[in-house]
Chain A
Amino acid sequence: MKKKAFSLLVLLFSVSMILAACSGGSGDGEASNGDDKVIDFMHLWPEGSSAEHNRIVQEIVDDYESENEGVSVNIEVLSNEQYKDKIKVLSTSDELPDVGMTWPAGYLEPYVEAEKFAPLDDTLEGEFGDSFVAGTTSAYEVDGSTYGLPLELNVATVFYNQAIFDEYGLEKPETYEEFQNVVDTLKENDVAPIALGNKDRWTGSMWYMYMADRIGGTDLLTEAINQDTSFEDPALIEAADKTQQLAQSDAFVNGFNGLSDQEAKSMFMNEQAAMYLIATWDLPNYTTNEDVPQEFRDSVGYFKFPTVNGEGDRESFVGGPGVGLFVAENSDVKEESKDFVKFFAEQWGEKSVTEAGVIPATKVDAESLDLPQMYVDVLDDLNNATNLTLFADVQMSPEAAEVHLSQIQALFGGNVTPKEFAEAHQEALSQE
Chain B
Amino acid sequence: MNKVMSNKWMIAFYIMPALLMVAFLIFIPLGLSAYYGLMEWDGIGAMEFIGMENYITAIQDAAFWDSALHSFLLAVFSTLSLIVYLAISMILASKIKGADILRKIYLIPMLLSSVAIAQLWIKVFNPANGMLNRALMWLGVENPPAWLANPDIVLYAIFVPILWQYAGFYILIYYAALKNIPESLIEAAKIDGATPIQIAYRIKLPLIKGIVKVTVVLAIVGSLKYFDLIYVMTNGGPNGASEVMASYMYKLAFSTNEFGYGSAIGFLLLIITLIVTVIVRKLTEDKENIQY
Contact = CB atoms under 8 A, between A and B. Distances in A.
Contacts of A263: 122, 126
B154 A258 contact: yes
Interface in A366-424: 397-399, 401-402, 406, 409-410, 413, 415
Interface stretch (B83-91, B145-153, B178-186): B145-153
Nearest to B145: A255
Nearest to A200: B235
Given A92-B259, A110-B44, A111-B44, A258 B149 contact: yes
Contact of A399 (B43, B234, B256): B256
Task: Provide the main secondary structure of the chain B interface.
Answer: loop
Given A398-B256, A406-B239, A255 B128 contact: yes
Contact of B46 (A114, A254, A415): A114
Interface residues of A, number: 35
Interface stretch (A50-58, A83-91, A314-322, A333-341): A83-91
Contact of A402 (B43, B125, B255): B255
Interface in A87-145: 88, 91-92, 110-111, 113-114, 116
Given A259-B127, A409-B239, A116 B44 contact: yes
A258 B125 contact: yes
A110 B238 contact: no
Contacts of A260: 122
Contacts of A192: 128
Given A92-B259, A399-B256, A254 B239 contact: no
A199 interface: yes
A27 B54 CA distance: 37
Contacts of B42: 110, 114
Contacts, number: 96
Contacts of B126: 255, 259, 263
A103 B140 CA distance: 48
B147 A258 contact: yes
Contact of A255 (B44, B127, B255, B258): B127
A199 B154 CA distance: 12
Given A398-B256, A399-B258, A415-B239, A259 B44 contact: no
A413 B128 CA distance: 18
Contacts of B256: 398-399, 401-402
Given A110-B257, A413-B149, A257 B237 contact: yes
A398 B234 contact: no
A88 B237 contact: no
A199 B128 contact: no
A406 B241 CA distance: 11
Q: Which of A110, A198, A257, A272: most chain B CB closer than 10 A?
A: A257
Interface string B220-262: 0000000000000011011110000000000100111111000
Nearest to B45: A114
Interface in A184-225: 192, 198-199, 201
A256 interface: yes
17 contacts: A85-B254, A113-B44, A114-B42, A114-B46, A116-B44, A199-B238, A255-B127, A255-B149, A256-B149, A257-B238, A258-B149, A258-B150, A259-B149, A272-B128, A398-B256, A398-B257, A402-B256
Given A91-B43, A92-B259, A272-B129, 19 more contacts: A84-B254, A114-B44, A114-B46, A253-B127, A255-B146, A255-B149, A257-B146, A257-B237, A258-B127, A258-B147, A258-B150, A259-B127, A259-B149, A263-B126, A402-B251, A402-B255, A406-B237, A410-B238, A413-B238
Interface of B: 42-46, 122, 125-129, 146-151, 154, 234-235, 237-240, 251, 254-259
